Structure 1
Amino acid sequence: MLSLVGYLDKLIAAKEEQPTDDLLGRQIVKQRESGQVDRGALLSTAFLLLIGGHETTANMISLGTYLMLTEHPEAAQALREHPEKAEWAVEELLRYFTIAEFAMARVALEDVEVGGTVIPAGSGVLMLANAGDRDPEVFEDPERFDIERGARNHLAFGYGAHQCLGQNLARAELEIFFATLFHKVPTLKLAVPAEQLSFKEEAAVYGMHELPVTW
């Protein structure tokens, strides 16, 4: 983390020397114009862009590819023959993995009773989106991966006013990827035995450390 923050700090310093025509560069120019230069805010923005714009999508790509190559080859075949099914395949992958739990931290604005327990006003609440996306009252046979499910009412992007700002971009990236991959590379397979692969059990964003493939 220290190494990453150091890298981003140097990146911002370089853009302060010569502002570039991108989000960070424009923020630097705007801060100077207003006279309110906030290096910490710039650093937080850069970190958020990296995590939200790369880490989550990259992990969903590797997890989805792994799942369909190992446990659900029928889904890969369906996408190979019908790339237009990628839209619903992506929604099911998002529901099935729900990789970013930190999106569901809230504060109760008033006393709320849930399941016979009162949550007092002002209390912090941490909700498990992954558990919500496996709720049998909402999703029939929730442990089953089914790209024909057609359910978009999952919590992978959070809920309400604080939903993920980049969800439409993430959906577009994932749909393009999964509509293309198995169609363009029909012989794709793992390059190592599945049991040798490791997962990011310790990370804030769940995913895989690497996914070696061949074709």
Structure 2
Amino acid sequence: MKEFETNLNNKGVSLIAGIDEAGRGPVAGPVVAASVILDLTKDYSLVNDSKKLSKKKREELYDYISKTAISIGVSIIDIDIIDQINILEATKLAMKEAVNNMDIKPEHLLIDAVKLNSNYSETSIIKGDLKSVSIAAASIIAKVTRDNLMEKYDLIYPNYGFKKHSGYLTKMHKEMINLYGPCEIHRKSFEPIKSIVKFNK
């Protein structure tokens, strides 16, 4: 998990930011990106792709990464912007903003799957959250941040079960959308929301 970081270290690059997102797939809620520069002298052996960790372990690692990382930046892109510019562009925007929100700027970016074409040198890695500890750390920060947001939305919109599925289109979520219609945090550019909104116009 440190191969990419070690190769960059050997070239004299030390401030390496791993970047990942949470929330590209759901039909509700924002997309969240995180950018994390780890202190690689610390023990990150338990850090893994956030999807492979239990909620409890994610939260424990979130706290550990927050305390030990050299710098962390987070960005949250709301539903209106996702609907305006599409989810891929919103994801890229979130990732760039996450880097800009860091108090210490990186020398190189390791990015999960996408290319940002930013002002920084970068490496795009397919399934990067499984191959780079920095990207995996970013995936944990982004996922926990977004899950916490969706739990708050669950209190505001209790009919949809956001706390359980985080806005993904589960069978239960689809049934609730059909029963109550979309709410304010549903993405109008995503199906089946798009068809429902169009039908009701």
State whether TM-score is above 0.5: no
Which protein has greater RCO, CA pairs closer than 8 Å, 6+ apart?
2
TM-score, with normalisation over the residues of structure 1? 0.22
Q: Which has the higher helix share?
A: 1
Greater Rg by CA: 1
